[in-house]
């Protein structure tokens, strides 16, 4: 071959090698890298024949990537494992999800499962308050404490423009009669700011750049366990909750492997592993992580998810209006 052709040939070889075999499963997720590595390792112990590839980013960016690939003619993604049910519902309404009727959901609260069985909860993740123990002498107790001028001036929260958990949290809070958009206006007036994802929140609070943060519980409690000077509070008015749903995409080329992955996510082994990683389990009879309250004793803020989906765009715009894009 002529030397000048080599790069082109290499290109073609690389791109020809791209189509994935049936044993490769591509998972698009918003769960952190290191956690997913452990998840895949554990999954491969039970199913060594399935190779899992990963794309990880914030839920909003994962969705954008998927849309981009559909525009390009198809996505390599087989399974979605993202933070919020709103984004999943959007995919379902677009006809992108596979209805997995025979999924093994024994022991999981049916209220958490999509009625058409297109997506399934894998864990419960609540949003509460993190604070820096070097900077805060008296721990906050409630969402109302956070809105007080001194506290709000040193508060950071995740933005629904990046984080799926924040989409649900803002959607839930604004549906509460006692909070509503008024609460977010007060926070903004008193100087609270928005970061991007929950990662930026723990970063700022652990470094002592901010004293308080709104955050998903495991991120704060994991950082605390590793030695960061932070602690977490489940506010007394209640917490918002997301279920980190998993779903199979309809045009997957690895349906059997995808089903295996979904069933495994709902199995006891996977649930126990996610407890180790600091998550509340969804499976009946699996104990929550040490130091976490009993999920049944937690006060959950109720939310109408249909309304949340309808108001999604509106909520994001209203939030951007108060806290910038």
Partner 1 sequence: MLLLLLFAHVLFTSLWPLGELFATAFRPGEDGTPLGLMAQVLAARSTGRALANTLATSAGSVAISAALGVSLALAMGLARMRGQGVLTFLILMPVIIPSQTMALAWIELSGAGSPILGPLGLAPPQGRPNPLYSAEGIALVMGVEHMPLVFLATRAALRAVPGDLVEAARIAGVPRWRRLCSIVLPIAFPAVLASALLAFTAAVGNFGVPALLGIPGRITVLTTLIYQRLNGFGPSVAGQVAVLALLLTALAVAALALRTLLLRRLQVPLTAGRPIEPGPAPPWVAAAVWLVVALIALAPLAALAMTALLPAIGVPFSLATAGFEQFSQVLGNAGVRRAFANSLFLALAAAAGCMLVALPYAYLYVHRRNLLLRLLDPLIEAPWVVPGTVVALGMILAFLNPLPVLELSLYGTMAILLIAYLARFLPLVLRPVAASAQMGDPALDEAARIAGAGLGRRLRAVFAPSVLPSAIAGGILVLMTALNELTLSALLWSSGHETIGVMVFALQYEGNSTAAAAVSVLSTLLLLAICLFTALCARWLPKGALPWQH
Q: Which residues bind partner 1 (CB under 8 A)?
A: 2-8, 10-11, 14-15, 18, 26, 28, 32-34, 36-37, 40, 53-58, 60-61, 64-65, 67-69, 71-73, 75-77, 132, 134-135, 154, 161-162, 195-204, 206-211, 219, 223, 226-230, 324-325
| Shortest distance, position 60 Cβ to partner 1, whole Å | 6
Cβ distance to partner 1 smaller for residue 26 or 126: 26
Q: Measured between alpha carbons, how far is 211 from 156 in angstroms, rounded to an integer?
A: 8
Rounded CA separation 187/197 (Å)? 18
DSSP labels, 202-259 = HHHHHTTS-SEEEEEHHHHHHHHHHT-SEEEE--TT-BEEE---EEEBTT-S-HHHHH
The CB-of-300 to partner 1 minimum distance in angstroms stands at 25
Longest dimension (CA), the chain: 74
Q: Which is nearer to partner 1, 18 or 111 (CB)?
A: 18
Closest contact distance (angstroms) between CB of 136 and partner 1 is: 10
- Of 66 and 239, which has the nearer Cβ to partner 1? 66
Of 135 and 286, the one with the shorter C-beta distance to partner 1 is 135
Smallest distance, partner 1 to C-beta of residue 297, A: 28
Burial of 144 (0-12, 13-18, 19+ CB in 10 A): middle
Please state, in angstroms and as integers, the Cα–Cα distance from residue 232 to each residue in 140, 154, 241, 289, following that order.
Answer: 9, 16, 15, 14
**Cβ of residue 172: shortest distance to partner 1, in angstroms?**
22
Task: Calculate ∠ Cα 72-78-84, nearest 5°.
Answer: 95
Q: Which is nearer to partner 1, 40 or 103 (CB)?
A: 40
CB-wise, 157 or 301, nearer to partner 1?
157
The two tokens of residue 285 are: 């009879």
- Choice between 11 and 287, CB closer to partner 1: 11
* Minimum distance, C-beta of residue 139 to partner 1, in the bound complex (Å): 16
Q: How far apart are CA 223 and CA 236, in angstroms?
A: 22
Q: Whole-number minimum distance, CB 262 to partner 1, in Å?
A: 18
Task: At 210, list the tokens.
Answer: 């901010």
Nearest to 88 by CA among 107, 125, 115: 115
Nearest to 244 by CA among 97, 127, 158, 119: 119
């Amino acid at each position: 071959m002529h030397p000048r052709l080599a790069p082109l040939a290499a290109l073609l070889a690389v791109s020809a090698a791209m189509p994935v075999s049936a044993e490769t499963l591509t998972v698009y997720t918003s769960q952190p890298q290191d956690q997913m590595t452990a998840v895949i390792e554990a999954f491969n112990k039970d199913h060594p024949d399935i190779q899992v590839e990963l794309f990880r980013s914030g839920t909003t960016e994962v969705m954008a990537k998927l849309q981009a690939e559909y525009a390009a003619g198809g996505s390599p993604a087989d399974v979605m494992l993202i933070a919020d049910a709103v984004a999943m519902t959007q995919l379902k309404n677009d006809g992108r999800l596979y209805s997995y009727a025979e999924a093994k959901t024994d022991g999981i609260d049916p209220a958490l499962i999509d009625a058409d069985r297109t997506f399934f909860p894998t864990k419960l993740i609540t949003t509460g308050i993190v604070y820096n123990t070097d900077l805060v002498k008296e721990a906050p107790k409630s969402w109302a404490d956070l809105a007080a001028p001194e506290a709000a001036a040193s508060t950071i929260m995740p933005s629904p423009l990046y984080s799926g958990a924040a989409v649900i949290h803002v959607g839930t809070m604004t549906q509460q009669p006692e909070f509503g958009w008024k609460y977010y206006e007060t926070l903004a007036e008193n100087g609270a700011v928005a970061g991007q994802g929950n990662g930026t929140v723990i970063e700022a609070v652990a470094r002592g750049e901010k004293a308080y943060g709104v955050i998903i519980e495991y991120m704060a409690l994991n950082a605390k366990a590793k030695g960061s000077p932070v602690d977490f509070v489940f506010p007394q008015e209640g917490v918002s909750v997301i279920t980190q749903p998993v779903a199979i995409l309809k045009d997957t080329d690895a349906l059997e492997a995808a089903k295996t992955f979904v069933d495994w996510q709902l199995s006891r082994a996977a649930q126990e592993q996610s407890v180790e990683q600091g998550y509340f389990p969804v499976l009946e009879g699996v104990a929550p992580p040490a130091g976490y309250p009993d999920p049944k004793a937690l006060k959950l803020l109720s939310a109408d998810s249909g309304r949340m989906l309808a108001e999604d765009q509106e909520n994001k715009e209203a939030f951007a209006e108060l806290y910038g894009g």
